[in-house]
């Protein structure tokens, strides 16, 4: 872990990655951060002991640069970095919809680029980060990206052609579960429960179900069937979900998210 690593853009994801790397053993002296606001820079220096620098200084000093900015800011950032990045640096993009080819076109020929799509559970070290290699990235570059993002959860390698699907399924995925919990909480209130009790019941059910899915090795259909007794309460609820087209709506929602990721990749940020 001696190679200097710079996190450019320290919003929620960037800061989560920074804190995870420190917990995993990176020394603050080997980590650089950039931020637009001076008060944010001071906050990061105080909290983590890191040295906030300019984007240009980060590009000059770090062997690995993690670009954790918004997709619409990527072009401007690359223009700023390009004069300072040589082809022996590793550039990791964590911006939704931005292709490795787009980044490679803005940098010196031969610069290795790795594309990563994390999701917000990196904030609690339970993230899933999907990793793809650009045209110049080697197995060693991918392993280094896995080492970094493995500090805040799990990683998965996929061909870049699958990144838009992974963005729809995993990158946006936590929001779907939050939406479901919100709806179920409202239902609990309708059924006569106080909001706090409904919330606690649903959150624990979600945690328990997730652990069972992860640890049991059973197919989700089997786990659902274990709860669904003949003529019972659960099958009546499932029937209503099917009658209202919930399964079809989820599929359509993920297709819409995938399509938007493709639009971002094509430069449509509106």
Q: What is the reported pTM?
A: 0.88
What pLDDT score was predicted for residue 37? 86
User: Could you tell me the two tokens for 96?
Assistant: 């939704």
**Is residue 61 a contact partner of residue 50, using CB atoms and an 8 Å limit?**
no
**Is residue 201 a contact partner of residue 222, using CB atoms and an 8 Å limit?**
no
User: Could you tell me the two tokens for 37?
Assistant: 């606001």
- φ, ψ for residue 51, nearest 5 deg: -110, 100
- Distance between first and last Cα of the chain: 39
What pLDDT score was predicted for residue 237? 97
User: Could you tell me the two tokens for 14?
Assistant: 């960037």
DSSP SS3 for 153: strand
What pLDDT score was predicted for residue 72? 86
154's enclosing H/E stretch is strand 153-157
Please give the Cα distance from 194 to 263 (Å, whole number): 42
What pLDDT score was predicted for residue 188? 97
Residue-level pLDDT, tens digit, the chain, 270 residues: 457 999 999 888 999 999 999 998 899 999 999 988 888 999 999 999 998 999 999 999 999 999 999 888 999 999 999 999 999 999 999 988 899 999 999 999 999 999 999 999 998 999 999 999 999 999 999 999 999 999 999 999 999 999 999 999 999 999 999 999 999 999 999 999 999 999 999 999 999 999 999 999 999 999 999 999 999 999 999 999 999 999 999 999 999 999 998 887 776 666
């Amino acid at each position: 872990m001696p190679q200097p690593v710079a996190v450019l853009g320290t919003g929620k994801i960037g800061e989560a990655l920074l804190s995870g790397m420190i917990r995993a053993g990176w020394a603050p002296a080997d980590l650089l951060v950039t931020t637009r606001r001076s008060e944010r820079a001071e906050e990061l220096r105080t909290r983590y002991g890191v040295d906030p620098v300019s984007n240009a200084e980060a590009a000059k000093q770090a062997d690995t640069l993690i670009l954790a900015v918004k997709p619409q800011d990527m072009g401007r950032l690359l223009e700023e970095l390009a004069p300072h990045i040589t082809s022996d640096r590793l550039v990791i993009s964590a911006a939704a919809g931005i292709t490795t080819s787009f980044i490679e076109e803005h940098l010196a020929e031969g610069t290795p680029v790795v594309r990563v799509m994390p999701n917000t559970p990196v904030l609690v070290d339970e993230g899933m980060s999907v990793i793809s290699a650009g045209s110049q990235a080697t197995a060693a570059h991918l392993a280094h990206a896995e080492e970094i993002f493995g500090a805040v959860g799990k990683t998965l390698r996929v061909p870049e052609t699958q990144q838009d699907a992974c963005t729809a399924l995993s990158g946006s995925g936590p929001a779907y579960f939050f939406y479901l919990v919100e709806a179920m909480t409202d239902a609990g209130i309708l059924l006569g429960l106080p909001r706090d009790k409904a919330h606690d019941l649903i959150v624990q059910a979600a945690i328990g179900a997730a652990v069972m899915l992860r640890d049991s090795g059973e197919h989700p259909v089997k786990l659902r069937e274990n709860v669904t007794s003949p003529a019972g309460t659960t099958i009546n609820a499932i029937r209503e979900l099917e009658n209202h087209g919930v399964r079809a709506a989820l599929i359509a929602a993920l297709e819409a998210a995938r399509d938007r990721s493709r639009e971002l990749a094509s430069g449509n940020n509106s």
